[in-house]
A and B are shown apart, each in its own frame.
Chain A
């Protein structure tokens, strides 16, 4: 069973602060890692899909890195804004060819104005 862990569970930061959180996963049988943003009363929205060790992705003030050998990915938010408040989920497919994406329980980010 693939265990995907995210930390911290929740986070409060001030507007303008930069922050980061972690997604940890077993390093064997890695195929891809997804990051999603889930705002309250909305549906999860894809941020990044990462497939290669050392991959770095960026979208505006949000970026992510991937280390498949040690089994972790970091999501960074630079200069947090209130609209960044959301739950950030990571997900991995159980094995290649199957589609049992296992989601972590997420990091709930609250950016205080």
Chain B
């Protein structure tokens, strides 16, 4: 158990809908990262937060947004969903985001858009 909690584990929804994925980092970790894993693709970096502030952004679509709350949990909002958004979404955390820190991953949310 990595100590990173993601909910829900599975999500099935329809095109055009909006969903929210939730992540609670390990106790004491200030940095949260979101990754997308699609079929035949590697882990794609979406966005990173540190202590409530956005730190870095990857190829995150404009339909997607995220935030980190004062209690350090993070939510990834996906709107106007398309079939191509179906993927496994991972959250990871680290203490303060230094490059020599290991990332601890949650178990992921499997999103299926029908």
Q: Which residues of A pack against B, CB within 8 Å?
A: 31-32, 34, 36, 42-46, 49, 51, 89, 91, 93, 96, 98-106
Given A99-B48, A103-B42, does the pair A43, B106 have CB atoms closer than 8 Å?
yes
A49 neighbours in B (Cβ, 8 Å): 100-102
Q: Is the CB of B56 within 8 A of A42?
A: no
Contact for A99 among B4, B90, B97, CB less than 8 A: B97
Sample of 12 more A-B contacts, CB < 8 Å, known A44-B92, A89-B42:
A43-B107, A43-B108, A44-B43, A45-B105, A49-B100, A49-B101, A98-B55, A99-B33, A99-B97, A100-B45, A101-B45, A102-B45
The A/B interface has a contact count, at CB < 8 Å, of: 61
How many Å lie between the Cα of A45 and that of B97 in the bound state? Answer: 17
How many Å lie between the Cα of A102 and that of B58 in the bound state? Answer: 10
B103 at the interface (CB under 8 A from A): yes
How many Å lie between the Cα of A58 and that of B101 in the bound state? Answer: 17
Q: Which residues of B pack against A, CB within 8 Å?
A: 2, 4, 31, 33, 35, 41-43, 45, 48, 50, 55-56, 58, 90, 92, 97, 99-108
A93 neighbours in B (Cβ, 8 Å): 99
Q: Is the CB of A43 within 8 A of B2?
A: yes
Name, among B50, B58, B90, the residue most crowded by chain A CB atoms within 10 Å (CB to CB).
Answer: B58
Prevailing SS type, chain A contact patch = loop
Q: Which residue on chain A has the smallest CB distance to residue B103?
A: A46
Contact for B100 among A32, A36, A103, CB less than 8 A: A32
How many Å lie between the Cα of A51 and that of B102 in the bound state? Answer: 12
How many Å lie between the Cα of A89 and that of B42 in the bound state? Answer: 9
Given A44-B90, A45-B2, A106-B42, does the pair A100, B56 have CB atoms closer than 8 Å?
yes
Given A31-B99, A43-B90, A105-B42, does the pair A99, B105 have CB atoms closer than 8 Å?
no
Given A34-B103, A104-B42, does the pair A98, B2 have CB atoms closer than 8 Å?
no
A98 neighbours in B (Cβ, 8 Å): 55-56
The 6 listed contacts between A and B (C-beta, < 8 Å) are A43-B107, A46-B104, A49-B101, A89-B42, A99-B33, A105-B42
Q: Is the CB of B45 within 8 A of A34?
A: no
